[in-house]
Structure 1
Amino acid sequence: MYAIFNNGGKQYKVIEGQIIKLEKFKGNVGEKIKFNDILLINNKNSLKIGQPLVKGASITAKLISHIRDKKIKIVKFHRRKHFRKIQGHRQFFTNIKIIKIKI
């Protein structure tokens, strides 16, 4: 069984027991989180597609950790103008583990 849900403007396909990396949101480590924006649920013998959401469906997850991604470089450069600017950015993420998908 798998489900597709919406969080932070992105869609994620998950199964029970999977660990995924989401955009950072507030919460303490070990806390349980519930997602209600379920777009699709596929069971072995049935497929439920929401219009736009599946009614009564939810996903329960456990917050594992808050992390930062690897550093990326942003380089801005204008040729023949003696202009060069280098920036770095590390995005914050939250790791969660999917506990249960409820139809």
Structure 2
Amino acid sequence: MYAVIKTGGKQYRVQPGDLLVVEKLDGEPGADVAFGDVLMVGDGDSVTLGAPLVDGASVSATLIETRKGEKVKIFKKIRRQGYRRTRGHRQLESVLRVTAVAGAGKTDKWDGEVDLTPKAVLDARARNLKLAEPAPVEAKPAKAAPKKAAAPKAEADEAPAAEAKTAAPKKAAAPKAEAGEKKAAPKKAAAKKESDAE
């Protein structure tokens, strides 16, 4: 038997024995919690829909712990203004164990006991976090590009390169002026001297 309940602005499908994480509820660990907002009750093929709630239906649970959830990062930025702000937030949440679902003239109870020892709480947290994480996506290995025969191409490339090296003559270094020789005067300076002489 299962039910769809509404709490904390969200809807959850629950059945006896389920571990459930909801928005923070008041109470100490071990306290009993009852949900009266039951939207649907199902038992095998028979389904009872509420309009909006199912009359006489309820879900009972035991509060295991109240804790902080995963951190959510808040990042604000205004471009070109040098404005950046990073904040973090951890929402308070309650972990529940569903013990009974009642509705449509039937009651389905969970046979086990709710263990509130620290080890059991940590186990419940670990199981719950595994359920909350998305399924891992298997990475497909990248296809290797087919290799072409490199030997013939290498021989073809080496021959022209070798010819180019032998064929290209080296540039002759410009002769340097000896210490006793004067450098040629620039044309403007020569023209100026001629005009001064006249």
TM over 0.5: yes
The residue that corresponds to 2:85 in the other structure is: 85
Alpha-carbon deviation of 1:97?
0.5
Gaps of 5+ in 1: none
TM-score, scaled to structure 1: 0.96
Task: Pick the structure with greater CA Rg.
Answer: 2
Give the count of matched residue pairs.
103
The residue that corresponds to 1:32 in the other structure is: 32
Deviating above 3 A after TM superposition, structure 1's stretches of 4 or more consecutive aligned residues are none
The residue that corresponds to 2:75 in the other structure is: 75
42-51 vs 85-94, greater mean Cα deviation: 42-51
Deviation string 1:54-99 (CA, Å, 9 cap, x unpaired) is 0001001000001111212111111210111111101110000000
Whole-angstrom CA distance in 2 between matches of 1:102 and 1:79: 55
TM-score, scaled to structure 2: 0.51
Q: Which has the higher helix share?
A: 2
Whole-angstrom CA distance in 2 between matches of 1:45 and 1:80: 60
* RMSD (Å) for aligned C-alpha atoms: 0.8
Amino acid at match of 1:33: V
Gaps of 5+ in 2: 104-198
Whole-angstrom CA distance in 2 between matches of 1:35 and 1:42: 16
Amino acid at match of 1:81: Q
Whole-angstrom CA distance in 2 between matches of 1:57 and 1:7: 15
Q: Which has the higher strand share?
A: 1
Whole-angstrom CA distance in 1 between matches of 2:33 and 2:71: 28
Higher RCO (C-alpha 8 Å, min separation 6): 1
Whole-angstrom CA distance in 1 between matches of 2:70 and 2:46: 40
Deviation string 1:4-33 (CA, Å, 9 cap, x unpaired) is 011121110011100010000111110011
Q: Secondary structure at the match of 1:87?
A: strand
Whole-angstrom CA distance in 2 between matches of 1:83 and 1:51: 50
